[in-house]
A = this chain, B = another copy of it.
Amino acid sequence: MNAQIRIVIADDHVLVRQGIRAFLETHADLAIVGEAEDAAGAMKLCAEHQPDVALVDLVMPGGGIEATRTIRVASPHTQVVLLTSFEDAQQIVAAVQAGALSCMLKDVDADALADTLRKAARGEAVLHPRVAGKLMDALRRGSEPGSEVLETLSQREREVLALMAEGLSNQHIAERLGIGEKTVKTHVSNVLGKLNVSDRTQAAVYAWKSGMKQR
């Protein structure tokens, strides 16, 4: 007994959404339960409907990658299928690491897309053939280079950021590094300024996003 597969579409272009909808409505087992036009809306919609699959455009207000990440956290049941016009390996890798299951280019035909969605609902990944090649490139290069902004940090600032990214308070960082808390606050302020973020949580997120915690 196969229930319908419930799908949320997230794309900032109405035309694209309508096109996808028209594509998918020819398949009786696929039900579109909602459409969003930005990352925030996509997360909200997924949290609300808990769809089986979210079809997310890589390029959208708020960011397709951020949308993927928030959807995966806020709505673990929902599998994310990425939709993209461009074959940017870095972006695709980032999206996969953010929790995207499959990745399709926008030139797929209706049946292939439907098939991808069905497989996604079962947790099976599908890679668009041309995406596969890009992914191989990215893998070969061994992950993306870190942010150049991180390079502007001094040694001490990097240490402080690393401990911030572990969730330590100023006091604990001070103890860990054997310096005063005031000094830590100075470093923290400098780090926040250089990274152009407004608080330690954003700095920690920055560190994780830029990969300083992954190699």
Using a CB–CB cutoff of 8 Å, the interface residues on chain A facing chain B are 40, 43-44, 47, 66, 69-70, 72-76, 93, 96-99, 101-102, 124-127, 129, 132-133, 135-137, 139-140, 142-143, 146, 150, 155-156, 158-159, 161-167, 169, 176-177, 197-202, 204-208, 211-214
Q: Are A73's CB and B207's CB within 8 A?
A: yes
**Given A126-B133, A165-B73, A212-B97, is A159 in contact with B201 using a C-beta cutoff of 8 Å?**
no
Task: Give Cα A96–Cα B141 distance, bound, in whole angstroms.
Answer: 10
A205: nearest chain-B partner, CB-CB: B167
**Given A93-B139, A127-B132, is A211 in contact with B72 using a C-beta cutoff of 8 Å?**
yes
**Given A47-B155, A150-B76, is A97 in contact with B213 using a C-beta cutoff of 8 Å?**
yes
User: 29 pairs across A/B with beta carbons < 8 Å?
Assistant: A40-B176, A47-B156, A47-B158, A70-B162, A70-B163, A70-B166, A72-B212, A73-B158, A73-B211, A74-B159, A74-B161, A93-B139, A96-B136, A96-B139, A96-B140, A97-B140, A97-B142, A97-B212, A98-B212, A125-B136, A126-B129, A135-B135, A167-B202, A167-B204, A167-B205, A201-B201, A204-B205, A208-B212, A213-B214
A151: nearest chain-B partner, CB-CB: B76
Chain B residues whose CB sits within 8 angstroms of the CB of A69 once the complex forms? 162, 165-166, 211-212
Q: Are B43's CB and A167's CB within 8 A?
A: no
Chain B residues whose CB sits within 8 angstroms of the CB of A76 once the complex forms? 146, 150, 158
Min CB gap A158→B, angstroms? 5
Q: Are B74's CB and A158's CB within 8 A?
A: yes
Chain B residues whose CB sits within 8 angstroms of the CB of A213 once the complex forms? 97, 208, 214
Min CB gap A72→B, angstroms? 7
Task: Give Cα A97–Cα B143 distance, bound, in whole angstroms.
Answer: 8
Chain B residues whose CB sits within 8 angstroms of the CB of A93 once the complex forms? 139
A135: nearest chain-B partner, CB-CB: B135
CB-based closest 3 A-B pairs: A167-B202, A127-B132, A125-B133
**Given A73-B165, A75-B158, A132-B127, is A208 in contact with B211 using a C-beta cutoff of 8 Å?**
no
